[in-house]
């Protein structure tokens, strides 16, 4: 079976194709719209939706060409339907439905966080050995900071998450306050590595019970610090501010992931999501497994991989074609 997977949850139009018989990835296409967002300092949801409308058909044509397939040779269409920017998601879902209807094949919806969560198993589609279960999995992206205990494929328990900003959002907001372009995560990573002193400023790390995170105090502290500086002094200290802020975002991630792993015998720490591209985080967690950077940030290969896991487990459920005015029978059954 050839599964075509689509992801339009944020500002990348992504299409991938997986062959369930050979368990190989046949195509993995990402059309990024970051360039269109740069002058706004963040993602503009309306622009993202419009860009998906233009780019998604092109991304699908490219994926089919790379896989040397026609649309009619696709056996199943899957798409992430949550969570994300609602307009952007709706473009992907409507496109996936129309495609599946036109080629008369089934269509399923999948969860974007679950796709990130199981992206460490994606390497098997490229002939490599994935990390062994159990995992302590940290999903750190622009929209999410979640910690999970994963016992096996598709079986997991949520341990905690952020109470306010996501880690990637904290990188982007700190960057904006210090005049860096969007997305600031990769820029902060580079500046900190090349010229920053991470001990120059002692920014706060939220001390919360359990496995939750909070980054709003850090933002306030950076804002207070920069307001006390003249523009010249701010410019001179920018590398050190950036490196110290990065350290304050990463320390709680490392500390909670290790604390969770201590409670679970034989656990491997895995880290996914855009922030997992961060070179300092990779240095601070040498014992952890990180997927390839292109599989950490948004992509559809992770969605195709999740579809394959569900197909193997018999849980790839066909989504209904239409909206319905009636309540679902499962809800009525529980009444």
* 3-class DSSP assignment, residue 88: helix
* 3-class DSSP assignment, residue 261: helix
Residue closer to ligand KG4 by CB (options 81, 278) is: 278
Q: Taking the complex as a whole, how short is the minimal distance between the CB of residue 113 and ligand KG4, in angstroms? A: 9
Residues 6+ apart with CB under 8 A from 25: 16, 17, 18, 122, 125, 126, 301, 304, 305
x-or-dash string of contact with Zn ion, 274-313, rule CB under 5 A: ------------------------x---------------
Q: What is the layout of strands, in order, in the sheet containing 155-161?
A: 155-161, 145-152, 135-140, 268-272
Give me the torsion for CA of 291, 296, 299, 301, rounded to 10°: 20
Structure token digits, residue 241: 């501010």
169 binds Zn ion (CB under 5 A): no
141 binds Zn ion (CB under 5 A): yes
Residue closer to Zn ion by CB (options 47, 229) is: 47
Residue closer to ligand KG4 by CB (options 105, 205) is: 205
Closest CA to 115 of 152, 164, 80: 80
Residue closer to ligand KG4 by CB (options 49, 74) is: 49
Q: Taking the complex as a whole, how short is the minimal distance between the CB of residue 80 and Zn ion, in angstroms? A: 9
Output the CA–CA distances (angstroms, integers) from residue 58 to 46, 62, 131, in the order listed: 19, 6, 34
Residue closer to ligand KG4 by CB (options 105, 280) is: 280
Q: Taking the complex as a whole, how short is the minimal distance between the CB of residue 277 and ligand KG4, in angstroms? A: 4
Q: Taking the complex as a whole, how short is the minimal distance between the CB of residue 42 and ligand KG4, in angstroms? A: 9
Tell me which of ligand KG4, Zn ion, none is bound by residue 252, counting a contact when its beta carbon lies within the kind-specific cut-off of 5 to 8 angstroms.
none
Structure token digits, residue 282: 């990779």
Residues that bind ligand KG4 (CB under 6 A): 10, 141-143, 168, 171-172, 183-186, 189, 273-275, 277-278, 297-298
Contact between 226 and 178 under an 8 Å Cβ cutoff? The reply is yes
Structure token digits, residue 116: 């990130």
Residue closer to ligand KG4 by CB (options 240, 297) is: 297
Q: Taking the complex as a whole, how short is the minimal distance between the CB of residue 273 and ligand KG4, in angstroms? A: 4
Size of the site for Zn ion (CB under 5 A): 2
Residues of the shown chain interacting with Zn ion in the complex, contacts defined by CB under 5 A:
141, 298
């Amino acid at each position: 079976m050839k599964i075509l997977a689509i992801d339009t949850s944020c500002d990348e139009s992504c299409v991938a194709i997986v062959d369930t018989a050979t368990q190989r990835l046949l195509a993995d296409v990402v059309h990024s719209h970051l360039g269109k967002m740069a002058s706004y300092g963040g993602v503009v949801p309306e622009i993202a939706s419009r860009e998906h409308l233009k780019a998604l058909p092109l991304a699908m044509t490219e994926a089919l060409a790379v896989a040397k397939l026609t649309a009619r040779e696709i056996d199943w269409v899957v798409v992430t339907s949550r969570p994300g920017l609602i307009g952007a998601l709706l473009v992907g879902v409507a496109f996936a439905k129309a495609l599946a209807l036109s080629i008369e094949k089934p269509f399923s919806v999948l969860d974007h966080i679950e796709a990130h969560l199981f992206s460490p198993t994606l390497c098997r589609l490229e002939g490599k050995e994935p990390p062994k279960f159990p995992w302590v999995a940290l999903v750190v992206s622009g929209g999410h900071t979640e910690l999970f205990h994963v016992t096996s494929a598709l079986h997991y328990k949520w341990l905690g998450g952020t109470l306010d900003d996501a880690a990637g959002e904290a990188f982007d907001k700190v960057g904006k306050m210090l005049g860096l372009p969007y997305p600031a995560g990769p820029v902060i990573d580079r500046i900190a590595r090349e010229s920053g002193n991470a001990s120059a400023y002692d920014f706060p790390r939220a001390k919360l019970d359990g496995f939750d995170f909070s980054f709003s105090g850090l933002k306030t502290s950076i804002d207070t610090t920069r307001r006390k500086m003249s523009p010249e002094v701010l410019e001179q200290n920018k590398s050190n501010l950036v490196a110290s802020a990065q350290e304050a975002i990463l320390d709680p991630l490392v500390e909670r992931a290790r604390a969770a792993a201590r409670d679970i015998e034989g656990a491997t720490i895995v880290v996914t999501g855009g922030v997992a591209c961060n070179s300092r985080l990779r240095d601070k967690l040498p014992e952890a497994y990180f997927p390839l950077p292109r599989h950490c940030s948004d992509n559809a290969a992770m969605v195709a991989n999740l579809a394959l896991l569900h197909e193997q487990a018999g849980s790839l459920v066909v989504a209904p074609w239409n909206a319905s005015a009636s309540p679902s029978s499962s809800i009525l059954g529980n009444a």
